Amino acid sequence: MKKELIKYAVFAICILLAPLAFSGNYLMNVLVFVGIHTLLAVALNLLLGYAGQISLGHAAFFGLGAYGSGILSTTYEWNPWLAMLVVALVVGGLAFAIGFPILKLKGHYLAMATLGMGIIVYIVFNEWVAITGGPSGFSGIPNLELGPVVFDSDLKNYYLVWTFVLGCVLLSVNLANSRIGRAFRAIHDAEVAARVMGVNARLLKVQVFALSAMICAIAGSLYAHVMTFVAPPSFGFNISVELLTMVVIGGLGSIYGSFLGALLLTMLPEFLRFMHDYDIVFYGGLLMVMTIFMPGGLVRGIPDLFRKITGLKNKKGGAHA
């Protein structure tokens, strides 16, 4: 556990000091979105990596958080922080309720069910024009405020979003090294034996599904207040796939891997602007290549690759991982 906390501390320090290197640069804006994507990827990773459940509809929870917060704080003039909390709890509750039937399903059925759910939510965003503004989106969402501070600049939003990310990562680290984390690993290794020991696999999976949904909803709320505008395309199937790609690239089950995946997939399009249309081909190809050649993601793949290369160079020692 000590090792984990040290890793976390290093990570947190790097994150908190990063703006010193980038301030004034338009990359700060990108880094805010890296933060939001990291939150989403970590949430999906909790589900995929720890509970072993696939979701292809996580963008729906993201969208519900965004629209929920946006509408409550704008149309109904709620306090944005209260709205964020309430929306997160409601989305968590909804996920808990539909989690029971959904998580009874296995593998691909589960994937399809979450996909279907995601698309239904997306269609509602598009069609319920009176509340959501339909395809043209919903604007006028206020920035978040904390006392005298109004979060209206890239730098302030950076700290706002990344504070949440760091909190979420810490919670994930704690969870992984706890009784519950063990219970999940047990379910992974030998589910029947885990259940014999009293691990209520079903309930735990549903709980983690709800937690994952809540984190996505919070990410959505933050997104809404940072952008002050939301529209359906940001919450469609493509986004769910992007999130999946981020988690897969980083490595299923690895929290920092999710960060890496989010970082790469958010930054790359910025550097490859001219390749905009190629992005779906890129994601598809990347997913396939990673699954075949580096199923453990970059987090495990790069050290392995490194070891293989240096192992080969050292004929005496032999090639050992």
Partner 1 sequence: MELGNQLLQYMLSGLSTGAIYALIGIGFSIIYNATGIINFAQGEFVMLGGMLTLFLMETLKLPLWAAIPLAVLLATLVGLVFERLAIRPLRKASPISLVIITIGGSILIRGLSMLIWDKDTHALPPFSGDDPIMIAGATVLPQHFWILGITVVLIGLNKWFFSHTISGKAMRACSYNPRAAGLVGIDVRRMVLLSFVISAAMGSLAGIIVAPLTMTSYDVGVMLGLKGFCAAIIGGMSSGIPTVIGGLILGVLESLGAGLISSGYKDAIAFVILLLILFIRPQGLFGKPESERV
Partner 2 sequence: MLELKGITQIFGGVTALNDVSFSIHADQVTGVIGPNGAGKTTLFNIVTGIYQQTSGQVIFEGSDISGIPVERLAAKGMVRTFQNIELFGQMTVLENVMVGLHSKSKSGLFACSFKAPWAIKEERRIREEAHEWLRFVGIEQLADVQASNLPFGKGRMLEIARAMACKPRLILMDEPAAGLNSQETVGLAELIRKIRDLGVTVVLVEHDMELVMDICDRIVVLNLGQKLAEGTPREIQDNHEVIAAYLGDDD
Site for partner 1, rule CB under 8 A: 48, 52, 54, 56, 101-102, 104-109, 111-113, 115-117, 119-120, 123-124, 126-127, 192, 195, 237, 241, 244, 248, 252, 277-288, 291-292, 295
116: tokens are 């279907």
The CB-of-210 to partner 2 minimum distance in angstroms stands at 9
The CB-of-140 to partner 1 minimum distance in angstroms stands at 24
| 32 to 59, 151, 152, 174, 238: CA distances (angstroms) | 18, 12, 12, 25, 20
- The residue among 116 and 303 lying less far from partner 1, judged by its C-beta, is 116
- The residue among 22 and 237 lying less far from partner 1, judged by its C-beta, is 237
Q: Which does 54 bind (CB under 5 to 8 A by kind): partner 2, partner 1, none?
A: partner 1
Task: Assess contact for 274 and 281: CB atoms under 8 A.
Answer: no
Interface with partner 2 in residues 294-313 (CB under 8 A): none
Q: What is d(CA 47, CA 55) in angstroms, rounded to the nearest whole number?
A: 8
Which residue type does 173 have? V
The CB-of-177 to partner 2 minimum distance in angstroms stands at 9
In the shown chain, the binding pattern of residues 202 to 221 toward partner 2, with x for contact by CB under 8 A and - for none, equals --x--xx--x----------
The CB-of-41 to partner 2 minimum distance in angstroms stands at 18
Q: What is d(CA 57, CA 62) in angstroms, rounded to the nearest whole number?
A: 9
Q: What is d(CA 5, CA 69) in angstroms, rounded to the nearest whole number?
A: 33
SS3 271: helix
Tokens 């409601």 locate to 90
The CB-of-272 to partner 2 minimum distance in angstroms stands at 37
- The residue among 113 and 199 lying less far from partner 2, judged by its C-beta, is 199
20: tokens are 């010193």
The CB-of-102 to partner 1 minimum distance in angstroms stands at 7
Q: Is 87 exposed, middle or buried (0-12, 13-18, 19+ CB in 10 A)?
A: buried
- The residue among 117 and 211 lying less far from partner 2, judged by its C-beta, is 211
30: tokens are 């990108």
- The residue among 128 and 306 lying less far from partner 1, judged by its C-beta, is 128
Any residues with CB less than 8 A from the CB of 232 and at least 6 apart, and which? Answer: 63, 122, 125, 126, 132, 134, 135, 137
Within 10 Å of residue 300's Cβ, how many Cβ atoms? Answer: 17
- The residue among 169 and 227 lying less far from partner 2, judged by its C-beta, is 169
Interface with partner 2 in residues 143-202 (CB under 8 A): 171-172, 174-175, 178-183, 185-186, 188-190, 192-201
The CB-of-52 to partner 1 minimum distance in angstroms stands at 7
Q: Is 155 exposed, middle or buried (0-12, 13-18, 19+ CB in 10 A)?
A: middle
Q: Give the residues lining the site for partner 2 (CB under 8 A).
A: 171-172, 174-175, 178-183, 185-186, 188-190, 192-201, 204, 207-208, 211
